[in-house]
Structure formats: C-alpha cells, structure tokens
Amino acid sequence: MQTLIKFLILCLTTITFAQTTINGKVTDSKNNPIAGANVYLDGTYDGDTTNDNGDFNFTTIEKGTQTLIISYLAYETKTMIAEVSTLENLQIKLRDDMGALDAVVITAGTFEANDNSKVSVLTSLDVVTTASALGDFVGALQTLPGTSTVAEDGRLFVRGGAAEETQIFIDGIRVFTPFTPTVNNLPTRGRYSPFLFDGITFSTGGYSAEYGNALSSVLLLNSIDEPDQNKTDIGIMTVGGSLGHTKKWEKSSVSVSASYINLAPY
C-alpha cells in the first residue's frame, strides 16, 4: 500500500510540473481593464476569459512555441507567438477596431404607403389584356388579391367592405361617382377609359392620412401628361375606320378623333 501511494504522489507531481501557467492582464488603449476578453492558445482547448479587472490565468500542457490569441468585440484581435514558458505576467493592450459598426438603435416611427413599390400598379395595356376585365379598369382590379365581386354588381369591393369605402382619385381629386349608373340586377362599369391614364395605382390597405376618408382601399388614377409632339392616328377596320390628330403648343395641347363603324355587311 505504501508503494502504491508513493507511486500516485510521484505521478501527480510529474503532471503538476508538466503544466505551464499563462497569466496576465488585458487593457484598452486608455489602460482601462477589459472584462470578458477571450484568451486562448490557438488550436487547443486551453484558455480563459478575463475577469472584471482584466486578469486571466490558465494552465496548459503544451510545450514549445505556441500562438496566444486575445480577442474581444469592437477591438482588434491580438496574436502573440512565443515560447509557452515566457507567457507569464503579460500586459496586453487591445486597440479599437476602426472597422467596427456603430450601435444600431431601433425606434418606433411613422408608416408611409405612398410608394408605388408597396401597392399594385397597372398600365392601360394591363387592363385591356386582363381576362374577363372587358377593357374596364375596375374589372381588372377585381382579379387582384383582396378584392371580391358582390352579386356581380361590377363595383369595386375590397376586403369585405362596401364600394363606397373605396376612394377613387384622379390626379389627386376625389371622384364621388366613378361608376356608370345602371338599373338593378345589371353589372355596372367604370366611367373612364383605361387609356386616359398612364398609371393606375391600387392599395388594398396601408395608405397615408391624405386619404383618411378611405376605409377599405385607395385607387389613384393619374392622367396622361401632355404629348411630346404633334401626331396623327389612322385606324382601318373591316367594319369602318378612325382618324385622330393631336396638336401641341408650348403649354397646352388638344386632341380630336372621329370613328365610323358600319355593321351592315355582317
């Protein structure tokens, strides 16, 4: 038994002498201690984290030349390559990382919905090429998510609201009667041709306070700007033809068109 105890003591003494202690202190450029910095030997599990005073202390069984790495957020990582036995009572200073990002502060703000990227935008060509729209911009909008057709009325119902809850504006002016009046049980249509507008903006929710009277949605119709030049349009059909001319002046323009259709051959 005494021989066994002596053998165990000898082994423990050998292990103790085989370990090397690495210690020191980590500070910033103003000599303030850095708490929570990581200090470790590269490629090993040996390391420590600095305490509130910036001190670290750990042991290792590694020998020879090793790489000691000291890192902390917002500071440049420092690397020391030296003999393990010399890594004692180290005084390490970390420099501020000039490439570190500043703190991001998130605060509550206002919500704007006047950006066309947040709403549905249709062109005149989109309207006339939409199946079942029959060339009516309201019919084209009824195919978008959030809209519905109530009893085939033909008016614009959005998210379950009434047609009166959808506000329609032409060049910023509210239109109170955008639909053509019809008798009961017949679908109604919009009063305006889609070719009168160069932009049809439709928002099913999230519009600005400018349209505060709207409860369900906002439909913005922007009319076509002034023509860039004089032009004449000629159309030929099997049942007739059309002729139009646009005259442009410096600050104004006028367009005149006429068409003739004769269905007698049919």
Asked if residue 17 is part of any domain, the answer here is yes
- pLDDT given at position 67: 93
Residue 244 and residue 159 share a domain: no
Asked if residue 107 is part of any domain, the answer here is no
Overall pTM > 0.75: no
Residue 239 and residue 165 share a domain: no
pLDDT tens digits for range 11-56: 555 555 568 899 999 999 889 999 999 999 998 989 999 999 999 9
The stretches in the chain having pLDDT less than 50 are 109-117
- Output the CA–CA distances (angstroms, integers) from residue 262 to 195, 234, 265, in the order listed: 24, 17, 8
Asked if residue 83 is part of any domain, the answer here is yes
Q: Count CB atoms within 10 A of the CB of residue 184.
A: 5
Residue 198 and residue 254 share a domain: no
- pLDDT given at position 36: 92
Q: Supply the CATH number for residue 25's domain.
A: 2.60.40.4130
- pLDDT given at position 238: 86
Asked if residue 254 is part of any domain, the answer here is yes
Residue 60 and residue 35 share a domain: yes
Please, what's the b/e burial string for 109-123 (b: 16 or more CB within 10 A of its CB; e: otherwise)? eeeeeeeeeebbebe
Structurally, how many domains does the chain consist of? Answer: 3
- pLDDT given at position 117: 46
Domain residue limits at 6:
2-93
- pLDDT given at position 209: 64
- pLDDT given at position 114: 47
SS3 sequence of 155-182 = CCEECCCCHHHEEEEECCEEECCCECCC
Residue 144 and residue 202 share a domain: yes
Q: Count CB atoms within 10 A of the CB of residue 170.
A: 16
- pLDDT given at position 111: 44
Asked if residue 98 is part of any domain, the answer here is no
Residue 237 and residue 219 share a domain: no
Residue 122 and residue 215 share a domain: yes
- ∠ Cα 184 186 190 (to 5°): 110
